[in-house]
A and B are shown apart, each in its own frame.
Chain A
Amino acid sequence: MKPYQPNEILIEQGEENAVVVQRALARLPHVPVRMVEKGWERGEFPLAGRDQFAAGKKRLLFTRQRSTFLEHCPAGTSGLVCCNYLVVSLVSNCPMDCSYCFLQEYLANNPTLKVYTNVGDLLQQVATATDRHPSQHFRIGTGELSDSLALDPVLGFSADLVPFFAERKNVLLELKTKTDCVEGLLSLDPQERVVVSWSMTPSVIVDNEEHQTASFVARLAAAQRVQAAGYKLGFHFDPLIEYPDWEHGYYDTISQIFSAIDSQRVAWVSLGSLRMTPALRHTVQRRFPRTRVLSGEQVPCADGKWRTFQALRVKMYRTILGWLKDAAPHVPHYMCMETAAVWDKVLGYTPSCDKDVARTLTGPHLQTEGMHTT
């Protein structure tokens, strides 16, 4: 995949000496740099061109996170089964541009790709929270508001995160990506505490909908490399996209993955149907008029989001899960943002609480006597 190249680097006054800023300046020596005041966005003129969201991705801003880094995953919406996941965001916005991405709506008025310089505060917050509950298991991911690795060649955050999490007994760090940017991980020792996971879709979806991401083949090759370097792997079939040939597409994808990697080293696999708010659908329609992701049989659900209608969605889950169980019978799996009714239809049970799901996922990796999962 093409390396990220911003049009401009903006540095908030006072952040110019931060380690991550110095790293980025050294790695992007030809990109124009501008110092800005805190809150400069409010007085900034709009970017050139009609697609402000795309233009914002090319403007790299270094600033401080002034509120908390550690948050509960927003997928834990009322009425849906949740896996009790925590997220930390060192980057807000993503250099890639998937047609279905929720950031188009969530960060619609965001004129930049924002990088937080105070990584030390993030590590401190994680240490405080997890040390306070030493008998609990935590899963923490960095891939909520950005891809976990897409900017690693520029920012090098993996060098800060992996050694820190490698030393913690009760936490798993998940780095979620659609890239092959794994070079920075290979020389680090994750100590069984880091899961590198890939969002996987059939090649036809990658090629037509996941713009500027790594190809399916490149993702799989990257997964093999990190596995060889001692990392656990995860795979997310999320979003699951219904298109005319979805059965062949997903079957091939699963076959290729599990014939290339050691399934004993896979920490978890998730499934999640494509879901979009009405506003996101309009944005997608405007930005990607030829996209096929809106052409599935999607209907509005109880939480206001559009998904493939339930009977078809359940059929997709059951079919794909069947293939996953054949390919990797011992790997735990879960569904993201689904109702208890769908869990029951697909998996034959409904978790009694969020902690049930989390325990299934962390249990095999963080076995310590007396521990329980948060």
Chain B
Amino acid sequence: MSSITDQLIAYAQEKRLSAQTLQRWQAWPENDQAAFFPIANALQLNENQLRDFLDWLEEITVRDGNNVSEVLAGSEIQHLLHTKLSRSDKLKTLKAALRKIRYPRLSQLEDELRAAIKALDLGDRVRVSFPPALEGDEITFEIKARNIEEVRNSLALLRQKCEDGSLQRAFDVLDEV
């Protein structure tokens, strides 16, 4: 079994990582390097993906005063790592889980907004979306229709949600932390 240093170098060569990214990873304590290596390797992270993970893990540990191996040992992360998923699905869910740790209040707000929209029960002809990272104060409503009747129905539904105050709730949530 080669040392973690050799493994990182081999991985960096295989993935053509920049020297800067490799150096950053190597600057971690050895047990942190070793804790993250099997994940990077299993997910075959490329330069950009790896940098996102390094950013978030470093920022979490600075904020919380812990270390990378402790973050990765968290129950949700461990559960995901041992769940049977395709590589791309695992990458997606793991990134989402890590993002929740990195952005706890933003993630919570996003969850609350999704719940508020779901509670509106607008059906599948009206799609509601929010600005990226909730940066802004506009909510977008899209109506899909095959004929004028469907447009009329969707508008009537939206009007009803405006009048009973339930749509206002979505705008209110956008501002609440």
**What residues of chain A have their CB less than 8 Å away from a CB belonging to chain B?**
243-244, 285, 289-292, 294-295, 297, 299-302, 307, 309-312, 314-315, 341, 345
Contact of A311 with B136 in the complex, beta carbons under 8 Å: no
CA distance A39 to B115 in the complex (A): 62
- Cross-interface CB contact of A311 among B27, B59, B62, B174, cutoff 8 Å: B174
Q: How far is the CB of B65 from chain A (nearest CB, A)?
A: 10
Given contacts A289-B27, A311-B175, A312-B106, contact A295 B63 (CB under 8 A): yes
A310–B60 touching, CB < 8 Å: no
Query: If the complex has contacts A299-B135, A300-B135, A302-B136, are A312 and B105 also in contact, measured as CB distance less than 8 A?
Result: yes
Extra inter-chain contacts (17) besides given A294-B62, A309-B134, CB under 8 Å: A244-B63, A290-B62, A294-B59, A295-B63, A297-B102, A297-B104, A297-B106, A299-B106, A299-B132, A300-B133, A309-B106, A309-B109, A310-B134, A310-B137, A311-B134, A311-B174, A345-B175
The answer on a CB contact under 8 Å between B63 and A311 is no
Residues on A with C-beta less than 8 A from B59 are: 294-295
How far, in whole Å, are A289 and B58 apart by their CA atoms in the complex? 9
Chain B residue at smallest Cβ distance from A293: B62
C-alpha spacing A291/B63, complex, angstroms: 9
Q: Is B177 an interface residue (CB 8 A)?
A: yes
Query: What A residues does B63 contact at CB under 8 A?
Result: 243-244, 292, 295
Pairwise interchain contact B137-A345, C-beta atoms closer than 8 A: yes
Q: How many Å from the CB of B29 to the closest CB on chain A?
A: 13
27 contacts between A and B (CB under 8 A): A244-B63, A289-B58, A291-B62, A294-B62, A297-B103, A297-B104, A299-B106, A299-B132, A300-B132, A300-B135, A301-B135, A302-B135, A302-B136, A309-B103, A309-B109, A309-B134, A309-B135, A310-B134, A310-B135, A310-B137, A311-B109, A311-B174, A311-B176, A311-B177, A341-B136, A341-B137, A345-B137
> Which of B60, B102, B136 is most buried by chain A, counting CB atoms within 10 A of its CB?
B136
Complex Cα distance, B138 from A302, in Å, reads 13
A-contacting residues, B118-140, CB 8 Å: 132-137
A315 CA / B175 CA spacing, docked (Å): 8
A289 to B134, CA, bound (A): 28
A220 to chain B, nearest CB (A): 28
Q: Which residue from chain A places its CB closest to the CB of B174 in the assembled complex?
A: A311
Chain B nearest CB from A299 CB (Å) reads 4
State the CA gap A291–B55 with chains docked (Å).
12
| Chain B residues within an 8 Å CB radius of A290 | 62
Task: Please measure, in the bound complex, the distance between the C-alpha atom of A289 and the C-alpha atom of B133, giving whole angstroms.
Answer: 25
Contact present for B62 and A292 (CB under 8 Å): yes
Most buried by B among A290, A297, A300, A307: A297
Asked whether B133 lies within 8 Å of A309 as measured between CB atoms, the reply is: yes
Q: Which residues of B contact A295 (CB under 8 A)?
A: 59-60, 62-63
B105 touches A297 (CB 8 A): yes
What 1/0 mask marks residues of chain B from 62 to 103 whose CB sits below 8 Å from any chain A CB? 110000000000000000000000000000000000000011
- A290: nearest residue on chain B (CB-CB)? B62
Of the candidates A243, A291, A300, A310, the one having the most CB atoms from chain B within 10 angstroms of its own CB is A310
Q: Which of B58, B60, B174 has the most CB of A within 10 A?
A: B58
* Complex CA distance for A300 and B55, rounded to whole angstroms: 14
Chain B, Cβ-Cβ closest to A294: B59
CB contacts under 8 Å to A, within B5-22, are none
- Chain A to chain B: the 6 pairs with minimum beta-carbon distance, closest first: A299-B133, A295-B63, A295-B59, A311-B177, A312-B177, A297-B103
Give Cα distance in the complex from A292 to B62, angstroms: 6
Interface residues of B in 26-59 (CB under 8 A from A): 27, 55, 58-59
Chain B contacts of A310 at CB under 8 A? 134-137
- The interface residues of chain A lying within 8 Å CB-to-CB of B103 are 297, 299, 309
Task: List chain A residues, Cβ under 8 A from B55.
Answer: 285
Q: How far is the CB of B133 from the nearest CB of chain A, in Å?
A: 4
Query: How far does the Cβ of B8 sit from chain A's closest Cβ, in whole Å?
Result: 18
Within 8 Å CB of A345, what residues of B? 137, 175
| Chain B residues near A341 (CB-CB < 8 A) | 136-137
A195–chain B nearest beta-carbon distance, Å? 33
- In the complex formed, the residue of A with least CB distance to B102 is A297
